[in-house]
Structure 1
Amino acid sequence: MRVTAWAGLIGRIDPLLADAASAAGLTVITVLWSAMDHSGPWRRPDAVAVLLICLANLPVALRRRAPVAVLVLCSAAAACHHLLGYQPTVNNVAVLLAVYTVAVHRSPRTALAAAAVGTAAWWTASAMAAGGLVVLNGVQSVALVAVATAFGSGVRRLAERNRRLAELTERLRQEQEDRARRAVTEERVRIAGELHDIVAHHMSVISVQAGLARYVFASDPGTARTALATVADTSHEALEEMRRLLAVLRLDRGRGGADGDGDGVYDPTPGLSQLGPLVERVRTAGVPVDVKVTGSVRPLSPGMELCVYRVVQEGLTNVIKHAFPARAGVRLDYGDQALRVTVTDDGSPPAGPRGPLEPVPPGRRGTSGGHGLIGMRERVRLYRGTVISGPRPQGGFEVAVVLPLPSAGGGEPASAERGSQ
């Protein structure tokens, strides 16, 4: 713990302040060493020697800001100090430190040039040494400068790798944020599609039944009451579906929902098991619906069941809105590789004055302008399916969806046959 604390304290020291302290320490130690060492036949230090020592060591304080200039000044001052006959064993540490700094902060080519300059300064000191040690000092000079250059280059490469890693980390963070934003957008689009399907279907049924109740209110009270009961049931079901859907957005309210009762119990996500009530509701609205299931029925994933349910719901809603009172047909054909879902009707309402129960004329039903069919295509595309919609040759309209089914072994869905959309 104490070592870690000291390391943290050292790491908080300003680098420029540390360089200034190093330069002052090197200068003081070198001057004292020159003054106290009487072992060699060197000139005794005087004012010129002290000036050259200062020029060879004090520039180290600026080694991070101008490494090349510091190296040249330190090397030149050290070489002049040695050539004038002063002690050649001093002023060499600053040169090594300057070579190391150039290797850290400059390109490899500049580092090689700096190594050559530092080696020349050290060779000058070696040449002034005792006769038997010239060769040995020269080899030592090359080795020390090479080690300083290698260490500096290693630090530079490590810093570059750390910088690239930081850039990649930032890029990854931005990509994660982008994916999160896309996920939020896709979820909002999905919720918007769910709301459209819920509101469009239930409001169509409510509109037809309310019109029927108003039309027969005086002449047939029993039929009017039945229609109003259908309106009440349908509106209740729509509210429950919307409550279940919007509860997903109330993450900060907990499972208790808006009331905070802690139950959080909602109807399950619609699936194939709810096709019966859906068809009955449409029949109650006055549209006869025939349902036919062929092939070998197999279990589907909850997401695919919801997709099939919404396809049938949207198709029947279009019949109520655009083709009332036509007959509708729903067919689910389970094949070996794909499920084909077809919703058809036998014709649009006849031209002429509209009765009290007839909705707005169909217009260009089946084109890409309708939000229902656009949402259906997007929903089906999630499961690599295709949607084909358009008028039937014998009259009426058809929406056909082909969804690939998982293979018998539970592998990936087989590719569905492609058709024009």
Structure 2
Amino acid sequence: MQLSAHPGMVRLRAALPVAGEIVYAIGSLWISATMLRNWPDPNGYWRDTDAWAYALLAAVYLPLVLRRRFPVAVLVSTALCVACYFTLGYYHVVAVCGLALALYTVASLRDRRVSARCAVGALLVLLWGTRLAEPGIGPLSVGFVTVTTIVCWVTGDGSRRLRELTRQLRREQEEKARRAVMEERIQIARELHDVIAHHVSVISVQTGLAGYVFSSDPPTARRALDTIGDSAHEALSEMRRMLVVLRDDERGPAERETPGDSGLGRLDELVKRVAEAGVPVDVSVTGRAYALPPGIDLCAYRVVQEALTNVIKHAPAARTTVRVHYGEDEVCIRVKDDGSGPARARKGMGLSAAAPGGAGQGLIGMRERATIYHGTVTAAPVPEGGFEVSLRVPVPRAATEARAPRK
């Protein structure tokens, strides 16, 4: 256990402010009583010091111990005692500090409407005390107590506003941190879905095929088992890459994925794996290919991956085409199948894709990825039959001007 977290230290920290208030109140009372007793008065301007003077000073300063718990009540009590002290004509200067501190406390802990009224009341009490000033300095005394009242109120109000701004900033930081955690969780969930859904779909199809031809066609069953092993190995590799990214906080977002890790450079591997699952895929690339920024490259790859995964799940017999076009300032991708497959599955897929609030997490993930890079995704049935997923993502001018050819 750390020393700062020890129960004794916690109680000590809680007791220090109270001890400070007690020391301040007693110290102020002692200083004021000493000044009152030793202040020279050869001309007899003030009433002789007696027990009532010390009692009133004690009533002014000792309640300041509770000023943070009951600020308004302490101010009212202090003001009444100071007014009595001034009315009896004792040496007036020693009572001013107690009332000023009580006013500061109210201004720092209560809203302006309350503290402003208290400031007016305190100023009236202090002005009443200026009648005890030495001859010739009455106007100066009035100016002094007025400035003192204003300074105490303004300083206390500023302290209150600073605390409010600090609390607001802390709340905003906590909310920002909470949103960042939620966004990170969504991103992790999206990555997990993209990685697992595709490979599990391939494994599911190949497992069914291997079981179906296990006795009648052993070579086909062996190829299916090999595809299952490759898909499982690839899924584990991508999971490991994801864990490395999550554990490495020092790299920037642009460094977390490279085109070779997971991008359109691996499109041939993806198509081969899907073809082994029984879905023939035709790929064509138009335009002059160039290196995409890592984030956009990964986005494009994941959209193609998810679209082909949906074909495996919902239309395993469909023939599919993947079209990649590199434009001057954008990259466009279309994944289209010809509609072969179970009618019920195709109908369900079309509904989930077309509806913005559909339940298809993969299609939602596509749109979220594209939105990050200011792109758009459309997913809907086509009139001649089948289903099409389209992605359009703008590419920054710096990337298109580089025109670094893809390997």
TM-score by length of 1: 0.73
1:313 CA displacement: 0.8
Contact kept? 1:100, 1:148, Cα under 8 Å: no
- SS, match of residue 348 in structure 1: coil
Paired position in structure 2 for 1:362: 346
CA contact (8 A) 1:102 1:110 kept: no
- 1:61 pairs with 2:61: yes
**Could you say which structure has the greater relative contact order, defined with CA pairs below 8 angstroms and 6 or more residues apart?**
2
The answer to whether the 8 Å contact 1:101/1:152 transfers is no
Aligned position for 1:400: 390
What one-letter code is carried by the residue in structure 1 that aligns with 2:276? T
Give the 3-state SS of the residue equivalent to 1:53 in structure 2: helix
Q: Which amino acid aligns with 1:111?
A: A
Which amino acid in 2 is paired with 1:119?
A: L
Q: For 2:141, what is the secondary structure of its paired residue?
A: helix
Question: Percent identity over the alignment?
Answer: 43
Return the letter of the residue paired with 1:292: S
* 8 Å contact from structure 1 (residues 67, 98) kept in 2: no
Superposed displacement of residue 79, structure 1:
4.2
Counterpart of 2:305 (choices 309, 313, 318) is 313
CA gap 1:220/1:274 in 2 versus in 1, 3 angstroms: same
Tell me the number of residue pairs that the alignment of Structure 1 and Structure 2 aligns. 356
Specify which of 324, 327, 334 is matched with residue 326 of structure 2: 334
Asked if the contact 1:99–1:145 (Cα under 8 Å) also holds between the matched residues in 2, the reply is no
Does the Cα contact within 8 Å between 1:328 and 1:344 map onto a contact in 2? yes
Contact 1:295 1:334 in 2 (8 A): yes
Q: Show CA shifts across 1:66-123 (max 9, x none).
A: 3344344444444444xxxxxxxx6121343355346534534543454344334332
Partner secondary structure for residue 14 of structure 1: helix
What CA distance in whole angstroms lies between the structure 1 residues aligned with 2:59 and 2:213? Answer: 104
Find the partner of 2:187 among 185, 190, 211.
190
Residue deviations 1:357-398 (CA, integer Å, cap 9, x gap) = xxx843411322322212212222212222211111221111
Displacement of 1:237 in angstroms is 1.0
Write the deviation string for residues 332-377 of structure 1: whole angstroms up to 9, x where unpaired: 12223432210001122267xxxxxxxx843411322322212212
Once residues 177 and 40 of structure 1 are traced to their aligned partners in structure 2, the CA distance between those partners, rounded to angstroms, is: 64
CA deviation vs aligned residue, 1:265-319 (integer Å, no higher than 9, x gap): x996310111011011112222221111112323222111111111111111122
Query: Does residue 274 in structure 1 map to residue 280 in structure 2?
Result: no
Match of 2:97 in 1: 97
Q: CA deviation at 1:195?
A: 1.9
The whole-number CA distance in structure 2 between the counterparts of 1:44 and 1:189 is: 77
Secondary structure of the residue aligned to 2:393 is strand
Counterpart position of 2:366: 376
- Structure-2 change in CA distance of 1:30 and 1:346 (3 Å): closer
Confirm or deny: 8 A CA contact 1:205 1:282 kept in the other structure. Answer: yes
C-alpha separation between the residues in 2 aligned to 1:179 and 1:24? 50
Partner of residue 293 from structure 1, selected from 244, 262, 285: 285
Task: Quote the residue 2:5 is aligned against.
Answer: none
Runs of 4+ that moved beyond 6 A: 41-44
Counterpart of 1:362 in structure 2: which amino acid? R
Gaps of 5+ in 2: 1-15, 68-73, 107-114, 250-257, 353-357, 402-407
Aligned residue type for 2:346:
P
Aligned to 2:123, which of 99, 103, 115? 115
Alignment-mate amino acid for residue 70 of structure 1: T
Structure 2 residue 34 is the aligned partner of structure 1 residue 18: no
1:154 maps to 151
Counterpart position of 2:254: none
Instruction: Show the counterpart of 1:216.
Output: 213
| Structure possessing the higher radius of gyration over alpha carbons | 1
Please give the secondary structure, in 2, of the residue aligned with 1:286. coil
Q: 1:67 to 1:232 in 2, by over 3 A?
A: closer
Taking the aligned partners of 1:350 and 1:78, their CA distance within structure 2 comes to: 98
Deviations 1:117-137 (A, max 9, x none): 4334332554xxxxxxx4x1x
CA distance in 1, matches of 2:211, 2:269: 25
Report the CA distance shift for 1:399/1:77 in structure 2 as closer, same or farther (over 3 A).
Answer: closer
SS of residue paired to 2:380: strand
Q: CA RMSD in A?
A: 3.4
Maintained 8 Å contact 1:326/1:347: yes
The answer on whether the counterparts of 2:35 and 2:94 sit within 8 Å (CA) in structure 1 is no
- Rounded Cα–Cα distance in structure 1 between residues aligned with 2:399 and 2:212: 56
Q: Whole-Å Cα distance in 2 between the matches of residues 92 and 348 of structure 1?
A: 100
> Which amino acid is the alignment partner of residue 14 of structure 1?
G
Q: For the residues of structure 1 that align with 2:186 and 2:88, how far apart are their CA atoms?
A: 78
| CA spacing shift, 1:92–1:310, aligned 2, 3 Å | same
Question: Aligned to 2:33, which of 18, 27, 37?
Answer: 27
For each residue in 1:157-215, what CA deviation from the matched residue of structure 2 results, as whole angstroms up to 9, or x when unmatched? 22332332222223222322222222222222222222222222112222333333333
Please say which of residues 301-310 and 361-370 is displaced more in the overlay. Answer: 361-370
In structure 2, how many angstroms separate the alpha carbons of the residues matched to 1:350 and 1:33? 105
2:240 aligned to 225, 243, 251, which one? 243
Deviates more, 1:206-215 or 1:175-184: 206-215
Letter in 2 for 1:185: M
CA contact 1:346–1:396 (8 Å) conserved in 2? yes
